[in-house]
Amino acid sequence: MSDGNPGRLRVGLSANLLVPDPDRRFYPHSTLAYAEDWMTRLFARAGALVFIVPFPDGSPTAPGLDEVVDELDAVVMTGGADVAPETYGEEPLEPQWAGQRERDVYEIDLVRAALESGTPVLGICRGHQLLNVALGGTLFQDIATQTGSALDHRSQERYHHNRHDISFVDGSGLAALYPGRTGGSVNSVHHQAIATLAPSLVVEATCPLDGIVEAVRLEGSAPGADRWAVGVQWHPEFDAAAEAEGDLPADALDATPIVEEFLAAARHVRERRS
């Protein structure tokens, strides 16, 4: 790892992908790789240097994802478009659920490069689902269609104001981060969810109203462990934005303990590599 600024952790964000659209008024013919503003702020405010991990372009002179990961202390799998059903061996039940296969391939390679090098991985919303798929699990393409749940996990009108409670699994790592609590309120902006759990993951939280998996952890993950990976179905960065605007509900689950554990795992990697 280059010396740069050795005092600050380097956190890499997987990029959202916006494909060319002739009806778009800005960059209509360009593919855009981007990050949501508060996703960058969530980790920058915790003291980290934040970078977007570029899509590999196949050039022999460009660094591969394994080389990029070697320059990072931690990786965040961000939210965004659906995971393509073909990525976990299915066909889309509806055309609008086709997802972004190109992004899936890039992010699965990124997850595997991170885990092989012992770099911590935090999955958020899509990233939580992608982590499960990368490790051998499957998804519900649409919660309402495939589970019959009456709970609206996604509302385009309410968007990040759409919320429900989650319940911690007793004895889980997530429960240990919130002593004295059994759960809390989280935002809900998704219509896909974990169906078959990947063999190496354990469930850390569920929705008490319909059993949807809301958080997972790679078995044995702890800040001092050789590998650390956690996925959460909600968006901590949306709550950070709401808190800054004075619009966060009192019962909202504070993301600080999760971010702190993630960065503690990253510091362990920094120390191990130095």
Q: What is the pLDDT of residues 43-78, one digit of tens each?
A: 999 999 999 999 998 888 889 999 999 999 999 999
CA distance 225 to 233: 23
pLDDT at 58: 84
**What is the average pLDDT across 260-266?**
97
Tokens, residue 19: 């494909």
In a domain, 76, yes or no: yes
In a domain, 101, yes or no: yes
pLDDT at 180: 94
**What is the average pLDDT across 126-146?**
97
In a domain, 30, yes or no: yes
- The number of folded domains in the chain is 1
82, 148, 131, 189 alpha-carbon torsion, rounded to 10°: 50
**What is the average pLDDT across 11-38?**
95
CA distance 16 to 82: 11
In a domain, 5, yes or no: no
Q: Is the dihedral of CA 105, 240, 50, 223 positive or negative?
A: negative
Q: Where does the pLDDT of residue 1 fall: very low under 50, low under 70, confident under 90, or very high at 90 and above? A: very low
124 with 132: CB under 8 angstroms?
no
Q: Which is higher by pLDDT, 158 or 37?
A: 37
In a domain, 4, yes or no: no
In a domain, 69, yes or no: yes
Q: Where does the pLDDT of residue 4 fall: very low under 50, low under 70, confident under 90, or very high at 90 and above? A: very low
263 with 76: CB under 8 angstroms?
no
CA distance 78 to 12: 10
85 with 92: CB under 8 angstroms?
yes
In a domain, 1, yes or no: no
CA distance 196 to 184: 24
**What is the average pLDDT across 154-169?**
89
In a domain, 2, yes or no: no
Strand-pair category, 49-53 with 74-77: unpaired
**What is the average pLDDT across 85-113?**
97
pLDDT at 6: 64
Instruction: Give the domain CATH number at 262.
Output: 3.40.50.880
- Does the structure show a pLDDT above 50 at 215? yes
Site of tokens 């009806």: 23
Known catalytic residues?
125, 235, 237
Q: Which domain holds residue 65?
A: 10-273
Q: Where does the pLDDT of residue 272 fall: very low under 50, low under 70, confident under 90, or very high at 90 and above? A: confident
Calculate the average pLDDT of the chain. 94
pLDDT at 2: 45
